[in-house]
Amino acid sequence: MPDTDLIERELRQQYPRPSAAATARARAAVMETAPEPSRSARAEARRQWRPVLVGAAIVVALGLAGVGIAAGFGAFEGTPAPPDVSINFKQLNGFANAAVQRGFSLTFPQTDVSKAHGVVEIETPDGPEDLWAAPNNQGGQCYLIDWANDPTLQDGAKYGFNGCEQSPPPASNISINDVWVAGHPDIMTVYGSVYVPAATVQITLDDGSTATLPVIEDLFLGSLPKGAKLDKVVAFDASGNEVAETALRRAS
């Protein structure tokens, strides 16, 4: 007879989750509800560094001793996107269309789904975490971050979260985001883009500790312990010269 702990573990894993489309709709509705006075200035500031999140969430883990670092550097790059990843990108395009139809002032790019491919895979306590990317019609890339072992949603899309590079790039030439998601409650994911040629980024936490991540196709991905607070990010070229730097602007 199965014990309660086993039932609980299995239930948490198997219990249904909202579709990416429902999550995107709810996100848009909820964000429309955000109080206006703070929406304008704060949201504008966030657009400088935080990409659009669509779909279900996830988390990062970087413990300076145990930062999630690219596993098999380059081995994952170029991997063709499987169908569930492509469907997720298609849904991102659908969200962009919906945003236009709803009169959002911020226009979202359209992704070339046929060119979706793997960029980097890192190891996390919850298993491999993948970054997929595809070019968009604004001259940048859109991407999906997911955990390799997470199930495909009922609508056929891969469970994960999306974003797109900014156009034009931010003045700092680095965009970075740290995301915690309910599906992986013990991990915080840190990811972003460098808009000038770069080989690595050095991430500094508010306690002064640092970690270095590779930049692949202008993108980087890392995993931090939950609760880690980012302070700044510095990008370096292949010769070790600093090429860009940004301080994080936190909501609080």
Partner 1 sequence: MAYEDDLAAPAAQGDSSAAVESLFDGHWLTAWRAAYAVTGRSDLADDAAQDAFVNAIRTFASFDRRRPFAPWIAKIAVNRARDLLRAERRRKLAELDEDAEAPGQADASDLLLAVAALPGEQREAVVLHHVLGFTLREVAEIVGTPEGTVSSRIGRGVAVIRQTMEAEHA
Q: Is 241 exposed, middle or buried (0-12, 13-18, 19+ CB in 10 A)?
A: exposed
- Please answer whether residues 142 and 114 qualify as being in contact, where contact means their C-beta atoms are separated by less than 8 angstroms: no
Question: Which residue is it, tokens 């990108």?
Answer: 89
Pair of tokens at residue 195: 């808009």
Q: From 32-40, 96-104, 105-113, 128-136, give the range in contact with partner 1 by CB under 8 A.
A: 32-40
Secondary structure (3-state) at 88: helix
Least separation in angstroms between residue 125's CB and partner 1 is: 15
Least separation in angstroms between residue 157's CB and partner 1 is: 14
* By the rule CB under 8 A, 106 interacts with partner 1: no
* By the rule CB under 8 A, 239 interacts with partner 1: no
Out of 84, 183, 233, 243, the only residue in the binding site for partner 1 (CB under 8 A) is 183
Least separation in angstroms between residue 102's CB and partner 1 is: 15
* By the rule CB under 8 A, 154 interacts with partner 1: yes
Q: Is 49 exposed, middle or buried (0-12, 13-18, 19+ CB in 10 A)?
A: buried
Which one, 118 or 192, has the nearer CB to partner 1?
Answer: 192
Alpha helix ranges (H) inside the chain: 4-14, 20-33, 36-47, 83-101
* By the rule CB under 8 A, 174 interacts with partner 1: no
* By the rule CB under 8 A, 247 interacts with partner 1: no
Residue among 193, 191, 178, 194 nearest 242 (CA): 194
Which one, 33 or 101, has the nearer CB to partner 1?
Answer: 33
**Cα separation values, 25 from 7, 51, 145, Å:** 32, 17, 19
Site size for partner 1 (CB under 8 A): 43
Query: What is the helix (H) or strand (E) element at residue 191, kind and residue range?
Result: strand 187-194
Out of 20, 53, 145, 244, the only residue in the binding site for partner 1 (CB under 8 A) is 53
Least separation in angstroms between residue 249's CB and partner 1 is: 9
DSSP state letters, 44-71: HHHHTT-PPP-SS-------TTT---BS
Q: From 22-30, 72-80, 196-204, 216-224, give the range in contact with partner 1 by CB under 8 A.
A: 22-30
**What are residue 134's DSSP bridge partners?**
142
Which one, 57 or 98, has the nearer CB to partner 1?
Answer: 57
Q: From 13-21, 86-94, 119-127, 166-174, give the range in contact with partner 1 by CB under 8 A.
A: 13-21
* By the rule CB under 8 A, 251 interacts with partner 1: yes
- Please answer whether residues 134 and 92 qualify as being in contact, where contact means their C-beta atoms are separated by less than 8 angstroms: no
- Please answer whether residues 222 and 247 qualify as being in contact, where contact means their C-beta atoms are separated by less than 8 angstroms: no
Residues at the contact surface with partner 1, assessed by CB under 8 A: 1-2, 4, 7-8, 10-12, 14-19, 22-23, 25-27, 29-31, 33-35, 38-39, 42-43, 46, 53, 56-57, 154, 179-183, 185, 226, 251-252
